Structure 1
Amino acid sequence: MARIQTSDLALADAGGVSGKLLRGIERVGNRLPHPFFLFLILAGVVAVASAVAAALGATTLDPATGERTPIRSVLSPEGLVYAVTSAIDNFVSFPPFGLIITVMLGIGVAERTGLLGAFMRAAVLSAPGWAVTFVVVFVSLMGNLASDSAMVILPPLAAAAFLAAGRHPLAGFIVSYAAVVAGFSANVVPAGTDVLMSGITTSAAQIVDPGAEVSVVANYYFFATSTIILAVVITFVCQRFLEPKLGPYRGEAVDADVEPVDAAQRRGLVVASVALVLSLALLATAVLWPGSALRGEDGGILQSPFMSSIPVLIMLLFLIGGVAYGVAAGTLRTWAQVPEMMAETVKELVPFIVVIFTAAQAIAWFSWSQLGLLIATSGAEGLEAAGLGGIGGLMLFSVFVLLPALLLASGSALWTLLAPIFVPMFMLNGVDPAYVQAAFRITDSASNTLVPMNPMLPVILGLMQKWAPKGGLGTLFSLVMPFTIVIWAVWLLQLLVWGLLGLPVGPGHGLMIAG
């Protein structure tokens, strides 16, 4: 309750039409139930809807067999037996469950030994004056490696870097915050977000094709490229629009409270870099070696043990880097700390695991009852009739995501709700699920800065007020809004170009499903 009161107070200075809209979104969003109950309600809706459809004798086309198949009622004796006997299996076999825990074991060690924080501080604070903005933006775009903690780590660092360069510290704070939050999906390194989204998309795609698999790097080409594009565009907006608007900084030389990277941390970064380079070289040799067991039966890489093992490899690389850094920097003193750090990481994932239980049941019932196929085939026919089966439909879908993204702060929860409907729908029109996932992620990510229910907002406001003592949420939103609009527009344009040219968004994932 305290979080809502704090946010309400912060919204008090967000006047005008935009302020009223944000307050309205907050009120509606605050009335939404916890995601655990949201998916529990969804499971109940699926059960009732399947019973009604089955009673009406509804059938749907099974794309695998080409035959009509009846809708099955979850509330029938057969359905109730299925719901009870499959609950545990639905939970533990839900694709995002094992994937995200596995990857986060490595990322957690890298974060807790100090590797991620030291890397971000070193990159931002050591940037030459002429490249400060670009380096700040690029590192901030990669901030999702450190998850939500990047919101607290990077903007103050950016403010200090701008102040040291004789520029307005608030500009550094805002541009870093915008890049971290609105550019959350962009990165040149696969992160936990990629793992989580790919697992949810895989589960949804299997409603149509039980053998479908969306890899962790399914969107890698698209978002790695966009990291460079957005870094350039955001830098331009900052220097040409934000800084002239703020003018020269005339405040006091406030202590930025930013610790420089010390000798031990620099040593840790060097050792971690060497360890990671050697590990990547060894991995590349193992994959490229003729006759490698990591290749597919035909010698290819796209369909191979290597692609299937990417989550484990990501975990190992973060683990190697984190351990190497910790030993060299002195933050890892005993090997017993490694499993302790992993355990702490898993503790932070407990809320996600709890939500996954009801989400897994809702999606499993949706698939078993054949309601997923019924909605997907009906929607696919509608898209085809409207001529929106390809990139046009994806663009429309991406715009549609905006409103629910503002209401539901959790992107993974929102994608878990939307993926079982839209992924099969587009698949039946031949669109690769990786493209649907990318269309969702660009809007969900770009709109993050405008979500009033973000629990980190009071913290961000407190940090910002060091450089803007009278600033509130209205100040933050007004300064961030241009970046949000530009990031979303650039991403939509990139998606349009990608689709029109038929470029792959990731290895083996073009616009249309390969025949």
Structure 2
Amino acid sequence: MNPEVNQVEKKGVILRVLDSIERVGNKLPHPAVLFVIFAMSIMVVSWIVSVFDVTTVHPGTGEELPIRNMFSKEGIQFIFTSMLSNFTEFQPLGLVLAMMLGIGVADKVGLIETFIKKTIINAPKSVITYAIVFAGVLGNLAADAAFVIIPPLAATIFYTLGRHPFAGLAAGFAGVGAGFSANLVISGNDALLSGIANEVVKTVSDTATVTPVDNWFFNAASVALVVLVGGLVTEKIIEPRLGTYKGNKASVMSEVSNLEAKGLRNAGIVGFLYIGMIVMMTVPKSGLLRSDEGTIIPSPFLDGIVPITLIFFLLIGMAYGFTVGNLKSISDVPNLMAESMKDMAGFIVLIFAASQFIAYFNWTNIGTWIAVSGAEILTGIGLTGLPVIIGFIFLTAVLNLFIFSGSAQWALMAPIFIPMLMLLDYHPAYVQMAYRIADSSTNVITPLNPYFPIILALMKDYDKRSGIGSLISLMLPYSVVILVTWTLFFLIWNLLGLPIGPGIEMFINK
């Protein structure tokens, strides 16, 4: 058989499967309606399961949790009394709207388009793709803010270059979501997960510990892997499948005028001065944006990254707008902010429905029940050695579809798997690293990701026909390929005997 022909056939099968997923998914109702259906389904499932008095024990607290019935008196009261708070306290809502106040001004005055034309547009195509994934991976330092900043800018870059905006959006989303655990520096997530792990380790050993740097070596090496895989998936699978963008938006390229160049220069000066001010408040140990203990992780700097970024875009947008004449007075700024909010109307409707579904799912304890039941099945099989690690990774990847919060899921799984695998002599930091690989990989395909509706709303901005099927078929190749290659990389890393962090090897007593 001709290998080249065989390869074409394989690629054809993959593309046909993705097309089928998109067709089926897009036949579903409007995403907002779909989330309402999801919420109603959770109500029905909670009622059915509660009839059998199903309970589960939270492995971290030991608390017995029943499956709560949404049709009970307590459930009905929760539906009506929490509806507004589910919406207004939904974290991505305020984060996205706040960010758009700043980014919207920079966009409306033309700064973002001019910047792209002046800088990125002349770079090689391959460099842009990998640079976007890289920016997404490093963006997790800004935690959830990266989900709001990177994908839309990546879509804009691809659109301006005449490439399909969905491909840019997907590359950015994959870097931020699927590559969430990879980074060159220690992040707040390292401290959070290691803290949970340590609480569990105390119940097993008086000497073993997990520190925020215990996964650093492998995390840093994983950046190159995720960027390489994300870039290849974008250029070899996603872009060929999407083809040429034929949406309503027309990419009209023009040269950067002298006035626009001057505006870009002034925006750069203002941005540089602002960043310098932030640096002065962050770098010194006594800096205003450091914690009381003098640390950056955690610190008010990281907690305030969204307002800091908002002000940055607002200032450079104003500097550019006043220079080129798109802003005549300071009163024009709130008008542009209002225009940006008009563009977010569809997103707000979608978030209202999605926030109710996620709140119902969490309230019923169904997610906890699924996680604990899955863990019990895996532990009951009695696997040992590397097979149990592989099984743990893929179980975590599946459970991540139901429990998006990495810390919440780790709080459920760590008390089960850390003691079990420590009895097999595995270092708890090694178990944590295996968990992080799986937890990241499927972030981009679960509707329980609170930023899933944001990406869907961005897609609809470029193509009104887009639906959940479009987004899942777009991101599924990233999840599958990154999960498989990252797992193989992890196994090879440890078969070579390389430490995953300072002094951290696979086995405790090695």
TM-score under structure 1 length normalisation: 0.61
- Taking the aligned partners of 2:84 and 2:272, their CA distance within structure 1 comes to 41
Is the 8 Å Cα contact of residues 426 and 436 (structure 1) preserved in structure 2?
no
Residue 305 of structure 1 deviates from its aligned partner by 2.1
Task: Report the CA distance between 1:58 and its aligned residue.
Answer: 1.4
Alignment of 1:173-184 (within 5 A): 173=163, 178=167, 181-184=170-173
1:62 is matched with 58
Aligned partner of 2:352 in structure 1 is: 357
SS of the equivalent of 2:65 reads strand
Shift of 1:117: 0.8
- Give 2:30's aligned residue: 34
Within 5 Å, which residues of 2 pair with 1:196-235?
none
Q: Distance in 2 between matches of 1:442 and 1:184?
A: 7
Structure 2 match to 1:288: 283
- Aligned twin of 2:49: 53
Deviation at 1:379, TM superposition (A): 2.5
- Following superposition, the deviation at residue 352 of structure 1 comes to 1.8
| Residues 1:262 and 2:246 aligned together | no
The answer to whether the 8 A contact 2:150-2:172 is kept is no
For 1:186 and 1:272, locate their aligned partners in 2 and report how far apart those are by CA, in whole Å: 27
Change in 2 beyond 3 A, CA 1:72/1:228: closer
Deviation, 1:147, is: 5.2
1:333 to 315, 328, 333: 328
Structure 1 residue 263: deviation in Å? 0.8
State the SS of the aligned residue for 1:429. helix
Residue 370 (structure 1) shift:
2.1
1:278 has 2:292 as partner: no
When residues 497 and 112 of structure 1 are mapped into structure 2, their CA distance, relative to the original with a 3 A threshold, is: farther
The SS at the match of 1:428 is: helix
The match for 1:24 is 20
Corresponding position: 1:112 with 2:108 = yes
Query: Contact 2:109–2:321 (CA<8 Å) still a contact in 1?
Result: yes
Residues 17-57 of structure 1: CA distance to partner in whole angstroms, max 9, x if unpaired? 45653553343122212221222122122222222232211
Match of 1:307 among 269, 277, 302: 302
Superposed CA deviations along residues 196-216 of structure 1, whole A, max 9, x for unmatched, are xxxxx9xxx9xx99xxxxxxx
Please tell me whether the aligned partners of residues 113 and 325 of structure 1 are also in contact (alpha carbons under 8 angstroms): yes
TM-score, length-scaled by structure 2:
0.61
CA contact (8 A) 1:108 1:342 kept: yes
Q: Matched residue of 1:69: which SS?
A: strand
| Pair 135,145 (structure 1): closer, same or farther in 2 beyond 3 Å | farther
> Which digits, 9 at most, give the CA deviation of each residue in 1:124-165, with x for residues without a partner?
4555xxxx34554466656995855865664563x6xxxxxx
Where 2:413 maps in the other structure, the secondary structure is coil
Partner of 1:472: none
Q: Whole-Å Cα distance in 2 between the matches of residues 118 and 225 of structure 1? A: 35
Identity over aligned pairs, percent: 30
2-side partners of 1:238 and 1:420: how far apart? 24
Once residues 159 and 367 of structure 2 are traced to their aligned partners in structure 1, the CA distance between those partners, rounded to angstroms, is 43
Deviation, 1:498, is: 7.2
Q: Which residue of the partner structure matches residue 413 of structure 2?
A: 429
Distance in 1 between residues matched to 2:80 and 2:13, nearest whole Å: 49
Please give the per-residue CA displacement for 1:159-204, whole angstroms capped at 9, x wherever unaligned.
6xxxxxxxxxxxxx58x975554454447xx9xxxxxxxxxx9xxx
- 2:79 corresponds, among 80, 83, 101, to 83
Q: Distance in 1 between matches of 2:259 and 2:16?
A: 50
1:38-85 deviation digits (Å, cap 9, x = unpaired): 221221222222222322111111345313232321111121112111
Contact 2:442/2:479 (<8 A) preserved: no
The counterpart of 2:440, out of the listed 435, 438, 448, is 438
Aligned-partner Cα distance in 1 for 2:72–2:233: 58
Unaligned runs of 5+ in 2: 1-10, 137-147, 180-188, 198-216, 241-250, 415-431, 450-455, 465-473, 503-510
Aligned length: 392
Q: CA RMSD in A?
A: 5.0
The one-letter code sitting in structure 1 at the alignment partner of 2:28 is L
CA pair 238-317 structure 1, distance change in 2 beyond 3 A = closer
The one-letter code matched in structure 2 to 1:339 is P
